[in-house]
Amino acid sequence: MHPNKMSIIKSYSISKVNLQVECEDKLLSKKVIDAIDDYFFMTSDGSIPNSNNITMRFKNNNNLSFKAPETAQEFFVSSSLHVLKDGNFYYLISGSSVFQLELSNSLGIGLLDSTYWERCPKSKQEFLMLSLLWLLREHGLYGLHANGLVKDGFGILIAGGSGSGKSTTALSLIRQGWDYLSDDVTLFRHSSDGIEAIAFQKGFSFDPHLADYYPELNKPLKASSFNGQKRFLDINSIYPNKFLSSCFPNPTFAL
């Protein structure tokens, strides 16, 4: 990777942390920016002076070859992700796409192959999200596998594993007048007023059969993208003016 070939294409901020995005060419820049804008709640071109900075550099992984250092050791493995650790460096590997994270310098270098852009939106979002979460936690922002909701100043987090019913429960509450922060993953940080929950991940994942109980979802679910058995969609068009960027939760409900 040659930093001198990179150009700053856009700056974002999220809860007093700046994100600087760099790419090696215009076509990749458009794909990356479209993905970030579609998948995450962040303020664009709103850098905060004297704040912590994160840099994410993106490059096309055209030769589909990546060799981690021989000293790298296995840190985590799942069905879709392989994480290696080598000193201060972490390597997040998904298929032929790789993110090299240097947490001490708040730097992430992404090598994205062409098949990455052919994935379903949820899969693309998750790979970018995990890389971002690792970088953000060095600046006091932590991700929680939970949905954030608010009503009349009362905030709650609904925590639970995948498929436990977080999104369905959140949908039921939104229909009853609750506002929402995020589906599935919410950021939180310690502040002078307590633990603050912050919107991070855009889009909700729903089982298509929910349309049998919530008719307003029928048309959007049919037109939305697949996420395995679920559909991935932006619910703002269905329930407008229900989004809130942050709250201070009271109890956390586990499913």
Q: What is the mean pLDDT of residues 41-63?
A: 79
Which of the four pLDDT bands, split at 50, 70 and 90, describes residue 90? very high
Residue type, position 2, single letter:
H
Q: What is the pLDDT of residue 29?
A: 93
The yes-or-no verdict on residue 179 having pLDDT over 70 is: yes
Residues 50 and 148 in one domain: no
Lowest mean pLDDT among 95-104, 153-162, 193-202: 153-162
Q: What is the pLDDT of residue 255?
A: 58
Residue appearing with tokens 């055209």: 62
Task: Name the domain boundary from 120, 140, 160.
Answer: 140
Residues 136 and 148 in one domain: no
Residues 58 and 71 in one domain: yes
Q: Is residue 189 within 8 Å of 198, Cβ to Cβ?
A: yes
Q: What is the pLDDT of residue 1?
A: 43
CA distance 157 to 249: 7
Residues spanned by the domain of 87: 3-140
Residue type, position 202, single letter:
K
Which of the four pLDDT bands, split at 50, 70 and 90, describes residue 192? confident
Q: Which two tokens stand for residue 15?
A: 């809860």
Q: What is the mean pLDDT of residues 208-236?
A: 81
Tally DSSP H helices, then E strands, for the chain: 4, 20
Residues 150 and 226 in one domain: yes
Q: What angle do CA 198, 14, 48 make, to 5 degrees?
A: 140
Using a 10 angstrom Cβ sphere, with 0-12 exposed, 13-18 middle and 19 or more buried, the burial of residue 134 is middle
Q: What is the mean pLDDT of residues 88-108?
A: 94
Task: Name the domain boundary from 140, 169, 204.
Answer: 140
Residues 128 and 182 in one domain: no
Residues 190 and 117 in one domain: no
CA distance 129 to 145: 12
CA distance 223 to 74: 40
What is the average pLDDT value for the chain, to the nearest integer?
A: 87
Q: What is the mean pLDDT of residues 174-192?
A: 91
Residues 105 and 153 in one domain: no
Residues 46 and 18 in one domain: yes
Residues 132 and 250 in one domain: no
The yes-or-no verdict on residue 225 having pLDDT over 90 is: no
Q: What is the pLDDT of residue 177?
A: 93
Q: Indicate the number of domains in the chain.
A: 2
Residues 55 and 121 in one domain: yes
Q: How large is the angle between the packed helices 26-39 and 121-136, nearest 10 degrees?
A: 80
Task: Name the domain boundary from 106, 140, 174.
Answer: 140
Residues 126 and 25 in one domain: yes
Residues 100 and 14 in one domain: yes
Lowest mean pLDDT among 32-41, 61-70, 143-152, 182-191: 61-70
Cβ density class 180-206: b for 16+ within 10 Å, e for less: bbbbbbbbbbeeeeeebbbbbbbbbbb
CATH of the domain at 222: 3.40.50.300
3-state SS assignment for residue 95:
coil
pLDDT in tens, 13-50: 998 899 999 998 899 999 999 999 999 999 886 555 65
Which of the four pLDDT bands, split at 50, 70 and 90, describes residue 64? low
The yes-or-no verdict on residue 2 having pLDDT over 60 is: no
